[in-house]
Structure 1
């Protein structure tokens, strides 16, 4: 109820009035049933634009840091992400990450739309980076289609390290659903997951027109931060 009302009466009208988002391929979003929305990730604002544009409610796998903040802003973030149905994603690996993926799989089995950024983090420089295997793991385990999407110039609205958005018109291109029925029997095979992930990233690259970098964005960010 909160999600619908906020989108209809508060966030939606404000975003549409200020940023005037355009969209192509909206009819590729199913009117019902589960699917994964797999998008490039250029800005913190991406998780605002997608729910405003897509008619159905979208649940995101969001990094669990948003639930760990302190003070008033931390409490606000936890409340907002919980009440809008978002799912905390632990990116530390192992059992913690698996538990997060299990929660995403449950959402899909309940017929939800699940939003995922396969790169795992925002692009540090506007390029499209290698996708992580979580998107394929979920698509194959839940046996649902993946809808590739490309956000356009959202990095101009809110680049990394910028808290206050700039006013800039943005876009969303939605591709045709991808199905991976041939891989369902090998859902837990990492080679199958890599093949599926690479196909998804190829379609996102085609829609976005971004240059592709065959490394993980998190590794590049680590190098930029001087990590060994």
Structure 2
């Protein structure tokens, strides 16, 4: 019994040693192969060094506003008899945008001009009579004052007529038309917006850590 056990132990030792030897040979072969493997050379490329300007961009959200912009409105009440623009038109300073009815004012001017002509004749006649001592100086002064008053009334009416031709105060681009032909305008009624787009304000905000990087003269791209 002991003899059989002895031979069994010897057999197991031989088998284990054989397996260990085989495994050792396999590992040795793998190590040898890895050492024999040659790594391919690294790929290297070259480029010419050139100077370039690097721009730092700070994106932001803002709004664009015209430097000069108004709502053109009526200064006096009156009926629209002519509209000289369309929505979106580009206009020059002094261009008539809306003409109001001035027929009544023109009739009054014609009547005053007739009165002014007669008053001027009266002044000239009284001036001659005063020189001839045939009229009182007071009469001449009264006629002269009446003549000046008529002239002033004519000038006031002409100024009123001019205000009823509503003009563009500066060059610019018009917005949407807010009036129609034949409409009766009241004082301060809006007619159209006018924006001068040659120069613009850009309003935007930046975080504090970025705001310190902005300097006068930097370019803003919209």
What is the TM-score normalised by the length of structure 2?
A: 0.18
Q: Give the number of the structure whose residues are more often strand, by fraction.
A: 2
* Bigger radius of gyration: 2
What is the TM-score normalised by the length of structure 1?
A: 0.17
Q: Give the number of the structure whose residues are more often helix, by fraction.
A: 1
